[in-house]
Amino acid sequence: MTCAKVPGERLTMPKATKRSVLMAVFAALAFVTCSASGFAADVQRGKQFARRVCAICHVVFEGQSPGDPNAPSFRAVTKSRQFREKGIALLLENHPNMPNLALTQEQLDDVTAYIKSLVK
């Protein structure tokens, strides 16, 4: 296929190329659409993550034994002015007695969704 255009002549693409380009565009749109919904915050994933990682120090569910008495329960976090104002940003801040966890954006979103689900 040559891309040189002769003056006055219309540049065209073979049908097979047009079809390939259209298929690629539709595939990309489908991927973006599916990916966006796949990354939506998930309360259950957040709960599972919190039970596995955060529960070492924090009380993350009713009836759990406290790990670190200085670590606020997730229910207390939901009631804090800081969490209401900052949301996920609060989880990104350094806390003096908390280990520096390298969480993915998905994990942050999920844990935040779980904590928000505890609001009563």
Domain-embedded: residue 9: no
pLDDT per residue over 67-93, tens digit each? 888 899 999 998 999 888 988 788 888
Q: In this structure, is residue 1 part of a structural domain? A: no
Does the residue 66 lie in any domain? Answer: yes
Average pLDDT over every residue of 19-46? 58
Give the whole-number percent of the chain exceeding pLDDT 90: 28
What pLDDT was estimated at residue 55? Answer: 92
What pLDDT does 27 receive?
Answer: 46
| Comparison of pLDDT for 1 and 70, the residue scoring more | 70
The pLDDT value recorded for residue 4 is 58
- Domain for residue 68, yes or no? yes
* Of 26-40, 51-65, 86-100, the least confident: 26-40
Among left, alpha and beta (phi > 0; psi -120 to 50; other), residue 50 is alpha
Specify if 48 maps to a domain. Answer: yes
Q: Is residue 11 part of a domain?
A: no
Q: What string of H, E and C letters represents the secondary structure of 70-95?
A: CCCCHHHHHHCHHHHHHCHHHHHCCC
Cα dihedral 60, 120, 80, 117, rounded to 10, equals 50
CATH code, domain with 110: 1.10.760.10
For residue 6, pLDDT over 80 is answered with no
Q: Is residue 62 part of a domain?
A: yes
99 part of a folded domain = yes
- The pTM of the full predicted model, rounded to 2 decimals, is 0.61
Q: 3-class DSSP state for residue 19?
A: helix
- Range of 75's domain? 43-117
Number of structural domains in the chain? 1
